[in-house]
Structure 1
Amino acid sequence: MRLLVLSRNASLYSTSRLVLAARSRGHEVTVADPLHFQVVISRGRPAMFLGDRLLPAVDMVLPRIGASITNYGLAVVRQFDLMGIPVLNNAIAIARSRDKLRAMQLLTKKDIDVPKTVCARTPDSVDAALDFIGGTPAIVKLHQGTQGIGTMIADTPQAVTSLLETLWAMGQDIILQEYIAESKGRDYRAIVVGGRVIAAMRRQAKKGEFRSNLHRGGLGVRVDLPKEYRQAAIAAAKVMGLEVAGVDMLQGRDGPKILEINSSPGLEGIERTSGIDVAGAIIGHAEKFLARRKKRRPSRDPVVEAEQRNTRVRPTELARAGSTGRRARSGG
């Protein structure tokens, strides 16, 4: 398998582990920064340049798209989708999970429990929103963000209003969520790969911090998830359409509540905490995913394959080639 890993930094733990796992199984691996790609739009012939070269042929793409490059990263992933190259995860699934409000809407439509959530946009709506979620303390979140960034707690109605007005003035869209006191600063992270929970841990926030993310200083402990939590994590990943997902859950009075779904979960914390080879499981699933795709669809266009092996082709030359092809088809 010729695997392309999309990552800003090949030395990051998660990226390097995926590369090592793939190469240990005999696969050819390339790591490329999504920002170095040029998306080529051409009727009937989508293509991709990496720098000034047409991208060599690849069999599978594994995106690790950070929140800071979501828009362009999604454009790159979407182009691979259009080119018929299998992607683990695809652009639609990543976009769903990256938008916190959209994710909550999709989850509740499938009757999956989440913290009470309100999307508000004007100061006169704050009181009603707080009444619905049970008052303060309340959690304030930006629509997009990972690793606890963009997640805040407000202890009084006045603090909520002040925080929201500041964020709105900065052009930010926000959501308000109930504070789950019974979670006591703990949450659960489950890694779902191919519809199975392969590793899980409980995270405890450090003293004085309400966010349990390991990047915020939280402590991770290996845990065997109860069946109810495993089912919730698997269902949440399925609703998003994610083949690989990190699902964060809180312990509510009535069972698990889905807190967040990450399409590019970090591997360092979960592997070191659980002792499980998560990277190997992801590569193993990529192999099965690719095999299923090959059975479902015809082989790649040999013309595209030939073009991708032609290494010093400029975007302008590709445009001229496309124009020539159209004239030939029209008899001009």
Structure 2
Amino acid sequence: MDIGLLSVSMNVYSTKRLAEEAEKLGHYIELIDHTKCSVKLGLGRPEIYLGEENVTNEFDAIIPRIGAKVTRHGAAIVKQFEMNGIFSTARSLGITRARNKVRTLQIMARKGIPIPETLFSINPDNIEEQINLLGGPPVIIKLQEGTQGLGVILAESKKSAKSIIDTFYKMNTSILIQKYIEESNGEDIRIFVVGHKVVAAMKRRSALGEFRSNVHRGGDTEAVKPTAKEQYIALNAVKYLGLGVAGVDLIRSKKGPLLIEVNASPGLQGIEAATGVNIAREVILFVQKNGGRRK
């Protein structure tokens, strides 16, 4: 099988691991830098070019690894492959939905998936009322399209929350505000879903003096077995967003597990190291099972 791996560099751990496992399973895999791809529209069938090379029909499947800064362009390239009947481990619509935290949480709320109390607004005139709607401080303030813990701020007092929120509104930056779940104690659960199964899960703990548990923020990790409800939430969240491969982040609260985010391009390094699971192989096996069937 010929697989296109949409990523900016083969030096990235996750990209390298996927390429290694594809080759071990006897597949041809090629790096496609989606930032250098163009789509030609007009007469005849739309075509995808990597530089001057027409790659429209070169692959039986693609694995998108789309970075936050180029979400729209990357998703558009994925969409064009989809329109040519090529299997993708993540639908273009799923990628854009997952990147926008508000859109993700709106879908989850509509489908009955438990989430933290969340508020989003663009009104700078009633910030105090917005904070009160969440029960007062402390609150978590998040950029709607932040990744790896970037753009996530804990405001411990009403004064600091109002100052931060007001600044973001004046910068015309899209944010959301969430109730701080104190009992989560700086921990969350990352559940890795491939197809219709949970293949690995890890608990992440925040570093000393840090409330964000992301590995990129220095958090510790360990393998964990998610509960039946946590697995149910993760599997359904991925299905509702239209993703085949995803990382689902949950926190444990007094009311049970709450979904906080879904990542359409989850990193492999931290979770493979913590769990010992060959997740890259699981992804390639998923592609092997589903790729090559033109729609």
2:93 alignment partner, SS class:
helix
Q: CA RMSD in A?
A: 1.2
1:111 alignment partner, SS class:
coil
2:52 and 2:251 mapped to 1: Cα distance? 47
Give the drift of 1:44. Answer: 4.6
What's 1:174 paired with? 175
Percent identity between matched residues is: 38
What's 1:159 paired with? 160
1:227 and 1:187 mapped to 2: Cα distance? 16
1:195 and 1:44 mapped to 2: Cα distance? 37
Q: Which structure has the highest helix share of the two?
A: 1
Q: Does residue 137 in structure 1 map to residue 138 in structure 2?
A: yes
- 4+ runs deviating over 4 angstroms: none
What's 2:259 paired with? 258
Q: Is the 8 A contact 2:139 2:161 kept in 1?
A: yes
What's 1:3 paired with? 3
What's 1:117 paired with? 118
Alignment of 1:286-325 (within 5 A): 286-290=287-291, 293-294=293-294, 297=295
Give the drift of 1:277. Answer: 0.4
Count of matched residue positions in the alignment of Structure 1 and Structure 2: 294
**TM-score, normalised by the number of residues in structure 2:** 0.97
Alignment of 1:229-244 (within 5 A): 229-244=230-245
1:19 and 1:27 mapped to 2: Cα distance? 9
What's 1:94 paired with? 95
Taking a change above 3 Å as real, the CA distance of residues 106 and 43 of structure 1, as seen in their structure-2 partners, is: farther
Q: Is the 8 A contact 2:246 2:266 kept in 1?
A: yes
| Equivalent position amino acid for 2:206 in 1 | A
Q: Is the 8 A contact 1:148 1:213 kept in 2?
A: yes
1:260 alignment partner, SS class:
strand
What's 1:39 paired with? 39
1:39 alignment partner, SS class:
strand
Q: Is the 8 A contact 1:120 1:126 kept in 2?
A: no
Q: Is the 8 A contact 1:140 1:176 kept in 2?
A: yes
| Equivalent position amino acid for 1:265 in 2 | P
1:42 and 1:150 mapped to 2: Cα distance? 40
Q: Is the 8 A contact 1:123 1:161 kept in 2?
A: no
What's 1:29 paired with? 29
2:123 and 2:255 mapped to 1: Cα distance? 32
2:63 and 2:42 mapped to 1: Cα distance? 24
Q: Does residue 203 in structure 1 map to residue 194 in structure 2?
A: no
2:43 and 2:167 mapped to 1: Cα distance? 45
1:280 and 1:132 mapped to 2: Cα distance? 45
1:283 and 1:205 mapped to 2: Cα distance? 31
Give the drift of 1:124. Answer: 2.4
Give the drift of 1:90. Answer: 1.2
Q: Is the 8 A contact 1:7 1:32 kept in 2?
A: yes
Give the drift of 1:36. Answer: 0.9
1:261 alignment partner, SS class:
strand
1:248 and 1:277 mapped to 2: Cα distance? 20
Cα deviation digits, residues 197-248 of structure 1 (max 9, x gap): 1000000001110100000000001111111111111111111111001000
1:123 alignment partner, SS class:
coil
Q: Which stretches in structure 2 are left out of the alignment for 5+ residues?
A: none
Q: Which stretches in structure 1 are left out of the alignment for 5+ residues?
A: 298-332
Q: Is the 8 A contact 1:186 1:212 kept in 2?
A: yes
1:100 and 1:212 mapped to 2: Cα distance? 17
| Equivalent position amino acid for 1:212 in 2 | S
1:268 and 1:153 mapped to 2: Cα distance? 27
